[in-house]
Structure 1
Amino acid sequence: MFRAMRRKRQQLSRAEAEAILERGTSGVLAVAGDDGYPYAVPLSYVYQDGKLWFHSAKSGHKLDAVRREEKASFCVIDQDQVVPEEYTTYFRSAIAFGRVRVLEDEGEVRAAIDLLARRYHPGDSQEHRRETIQKEYSALCMLELTVEHLTGKEAIELVRARDRAEP
């Protein structure tokens, strides 16, 4: 169903691709937008146990697209070092493919937004986090992407550097 990576030597392991998702703080969600145009939107997220969560307004292009077609992809760039003299970048990235659903159950919504809030403000008190979430809750929508396929890739130069470093 999913294409095999053409440049297999540059392919990261599942664990390495998951580590990118765990380290990242933003990525780009790509969905089927209006009139057949792709719609890609940068988002904050949290990743855990094969799922990604995003917050959203209760209406808009992203939500309309997700309700129309649940299939989506999410890309996170872990490294993008421009190397001008080589006309390239030393990159590392991961792309998750899966299905997005709008969380409707209040318990699921609260658990997801709490996880997202703890990701971006780990030192916050539980009381302050709850108060902040409650203040914004009525306008909040949470989306969950269940990862069906995950790929990771890095620049060949990074592969070669790692090969040289290994005994």
Structure 2
Amino acid sequence: MFREMRRKRQLLTEGETLDILLKGTSGVLSLLGDDGYPYGVPLSYVYHENKIYFHGAKSGHKLDAVRNCDKASFCVIAQDQVHPETFTTHYKSVIAFGKIHVVEDSAERRASIEILGRKYSPGLEEKMEQEIEKDDKILNMFVLEIEHMTGKQCIELV
């Protein structure tokens, strides 16, 4: 169902791929948007147990797209160094494919919010709890359940 990577020598190991997802702070979520146009939205995320969690509003383009089509991809770029003298870029990146939906289960929803909060605001649990309580009614949590994922690096880093 998913294509194999053509340049297999550039494939990152599973460990390297997971390391990029765990350390990354932003990526681009790609969905099928309005009128069949692709919709790529940059956002913060957290990777946990083969799932990627995002937060968002209770209405808007992202939510509409997720409701219309549950297939998505998510890309994280870990390294992007342009080398003009050699007409290349030294890069490392990850792309994940899977099904996305709004987290409806209250326990999973709360856990995913806390995991996201701890990633971006470590050591601020009390303030995080206040923010969660304040924004709980206006916040959606989305989960991308990964079906296929690859990490890739430029040939110069192999």
TM range (shorter): over 0.9
Residue 59 of structure 1: how far off its partner (Å) = 0.6
Number of residue-to-residue matches in the alignment: 158
Corresponding residue number in structure 1 for 2:51: 51
Corresponding residue number in structure 1 for 2:128: 129
Corresponding residue number in structure 1 for 2:99: 99
Q: Please give the alpha-carbon distance, in whole angstroms, between the structure 2 residues aligned to 1:4 and 1:21.
A: 20
Residue 5 of structure 1: how far off its partner (Å) = 0.6
Residue 48 of structure 1: how far off its partner (Å) = 1.2
Where in structure 2 are the equivalents of 1:6-155 lying within 5 Å? 6-124=6-124, 126-155=125-154
Corresponding residue number in structure 2 for 1:162: none
Residue 128 of structure 1: how far off its partner (Å) = 2.0
Q: Please give the alpha-carbon distance, in whole angstroms, between the structure 2 residues aligned to 1:107 and 1:6.
A: 40
Q: Please give the alpha-carbon distance, in whole angstroms, between the structure 2 residues aligned to 1:21 and 1:132.
A: 25
Deviations along 1:68-120, whole A, 9 cap, x unmatched?
11110000000000101011100000001011010122222111111100000
Q: Please give the alpha-carbon distance, in whole angstroms, between the structure 1 residues aligned to 2:91 and 2:43.
A: 20
Q: TM-score w.r.t. structure 2 length?
A: 0.97
* Structure 2, gaps ≥5 residues long: none
Q: Please give the alpha-carbon distance, in whole angstroms, between the structure 1 residues aligned to 2:86 and 2:58.
A: 45
Corresponding residue number in structure 2 for 1:165: none
Q: TM-score w.r.t. structure 1 length?
A: 0.92
Residue 129 of structure 1: how far off its partner (Å) = 1.4
Percent identity over the alignment? 59
Q: Please give the alpha-carbon distance, in whole angstroms, between the structure 2 residues aligned to 1:96 and 1:76.
A: 9
Residue 131 of structure 1: how far off its partner (Å) = 1.1
Q: Please give the alpha-carbon distance, in whole angstroms, between the structure 2 residues aligned to 1:4 and 1:37.
A: 25
| 4+ long deviations beyond 4 Å | none
